Amino acid sequence: MAYRVMTAAALAAGLVLATGTATAQKRAPAASDTPRTFVQATEGMDHERREVMIPMRDGVRLHTVILIPKGARNAPILLTRTPYDASDMTSHSPSGTLAAVLDGYDNAPDVVVGGGYIRVVQDVRGKYGSEGDYIMNRPLAGTPLNPGKVDHSTDAYDTIDWLVKHIPESNGRVGIIGISYDGFLPLMALINPHPALKVAVPMNPMVDGWNGDDWFHNGAFRQQNLPYMLEQEASRDNSIKWWSTHRDDYDLYLSAGSAGALARSRGLDQTGFWTKVAQHPSYDDYWQQQAMDRVLAARPLTVPTLLVHGLFDQEDIHGAIAVWQALKDRTGGQNLKLAIGPWNHGQQIHDASALGPIKWGQDTGLWFRRNVLAPFLAQYLIDGAPTADLPRVTAFETGSNAWRRLADWPAACADDCTARLYLKPQGALGFEPATGPAETADYISDPAKPVPFRARPILPVGYEGELTWPSWLVDDQREASGRTDVITFVTPVLTAPVRIKGKPVVHLTAATSGTDADWVVKLIDVYPAEVAGDKAMGGYQLGIAMDIFRGRYRESLSEAKPIAADTALPYRFALPDANHVFLPGHRIMVQVQSSWFPLYDRNPQRFVPNIMFAKPEDYVKATQRITVAGPEGSYIVLPLVPAGAE
């Protein structure tokens, strides 16, 4: 009986199962295992995540991630706008803690979490989850470069307006912060700012793409940024990738011939920005009208702003200082401050105890975040926060490896605070000019064998995998000093410190047998032959300020002209800002060369209208002659700080 009952029950269960299976089989083709909308469970997390599409004034909606600390009330908002994927920048860890989720680019999680900020990250129009069209560094609306009615300033305004109206947990105060491209965007937000925008922190911002930031340095094209241009513009989500046939970029770019030929081979001529760059190799209206230091100088600065600069910023070493110089005398020091650290591009939000082999004796990034960034943000965003005890300029001095509180940048002094450092015959260098008639130091520059800008193999620009790009500005310059196409000048061993603050300015008198030439000048700190406690630094040649100048722009940056062959001509250009002490026992070195490859494209040394499209037959050897004695002798003006002065 029991057997019969069990059999009946089993039969009934089997019928139900069969019916359910049949139903499931019938439904399977029409249903998805993935829900149309998934609501993230937040139990155990210390924050809530919201993703919204914020409408702009022209109807375009921008994808925005909002991270709100659990229990937040009257909390300030810290906004970053980015072309680099807001979802990825707010998903660095599967952990339920906000600190782990934000552990990446732009975020400074210790400051965000410690301040109790509502963190907002938004994709700019045309990138990743946002609607609209993407334009690289979209220029200001209502100008010849952008006759439309929207730009990054209007998008920032509309975003902030929406945030303060739709996040009930906020106190209605917004700060904007970012690095690099994301540092350019806070500068745009300062134009006609929203009333709720209370503070801005542009870090390592892209400011002038021709005059020292990403695309050109003094007319020389930074061709190793071609992969960035492709990946940033070929697709909305950066899914189309650059490809290489060589491990060593030196071989890749040399075999391509010219930057234009390589760009064409990778399909870059299909993208908008490369086309504009190729059409505007000179500093014409295209570049001048969108240089942010010029744009901001024409308007009042009404939002308290902290500019952040890295002394060894391998990408945007020009921007922050350029904005500072444009605005510092107009603000009276009320709304503008400057922080300078011994960092590469964005290193200040990470561990910054060292850069390459150079050790600073402290975590300079942590010190900056605790003593400058956090109190500066809090003063303007957090209810009841004290006034930050910050000088006008906070600057780390390399060499002495100490933080300095300064009233201005460069450091002001009553008398002339400059000194001429003269290039002399036989590779000598000193603060007194050479005696006797004019002499030259000569070398042969061969475009077929350009001087590498660092030891080979030279890996591509990148932040993943083998990371070498971030530290190239502190590479040991001995690699170059042994070449016959690099001339070197060095002082005797110093018996007293030499302190500089500001831009060294090159006054080079040079002749070339060609009709065009590049001039690379490097100011270098040569360490003693042995360094106690740090064997790796024995004899190290540390670049303090280095840059390139394309000779065709000697007379005018906006118009390229051939160079008169075999004629000694003056070239004047500034090197990046330095804040350094050459210590006793060290020596000062200057190196001069005519290529810095493949970071910059090769100068053919025969004048052509556009170097990006030079043909193989255009590249010729040239004899370069640097005047090192006589009334037209070459020298560098150092922004010297007198002994005893800060």
Please tell me the pTM assigned to this model. Answer: 0.93
10 Å Cβ neighbour count for 384? Answer: 5
Could you write out the DSSP letters of every residue in 33-77? SS-SS-----TT-SEEEEEEEEEPTTS-EEEEEEEEETT--SEEE
- Tokens for 143? 């100008």
- What SS3 state is found at 497? coil
Output the pLDDT for position 92.
Answer: 83
Output the pLDDT for position 314.
Answer: 97
Query: Which segments of the chain have a pLDDT < 70?
Result: 1-30, 331-333, 412-416, 465, 643-646
- Distance between CA atoms of residues 160 and 29, nearest Å: 45
- Distance between CA atoms of residues 627 and 636, nearest Å: 13
% of residues, the chain, pLDDT over 70: 93
Beta strands in 527-586 (DSSP E): 541-550, 569-574, 578-582
Output the pLDDT for position 38.
Answer: 82
- What SS3 state is found at 556? coil
Contact 367, 403 (CB under 8 A): yes
- Tokens for 601? 């494209």
Among residues 521, 634, 451, the alpha carbon closest in space to that of 217 is found at 521
Cα-only R_g, the chain: 28
Among residues 356, 355, 298, the alpha carbon closest in space to that of 323 is found at 298
Output the pLDDT for position 417.
Answer: 78
- Distance between CA atoms of residues 158 and 139, nearest Å: 17
- Tokens for 329? 């005398």
What Å distances lie between residue 433 and 429, 437, 438, 524, 643, CA to CA? 9, 11, 11, 19, 22
Q: Which residues contact 193 (CB under 8 A, 6 or more apart)?
A: 156, 157, 302, 303
Q: Which residues contact 463 (CB under 8 A, 6 or more apart)?
A: 469, 470
Among residues 66, 39, 92, 18, the alpha carbon closest in space to that of 168 is found at 66
Output the pLDDT for position 238.
Answer: 96
- Distance between CA atoms of residues 329 and 412, nearest Å: 13
Output the pLDDT for position 412.
Answer: 57
> How is residue 501 annotated by DSSP?
E
- Distance between CA atoms of residues 161 and 150, nearest Å: 15
10 Å Cβ neighbour count for 12? Answer: 10
Output the pLDDT for position 436.
Answer: 87
- Tokens for 458? 């030279």
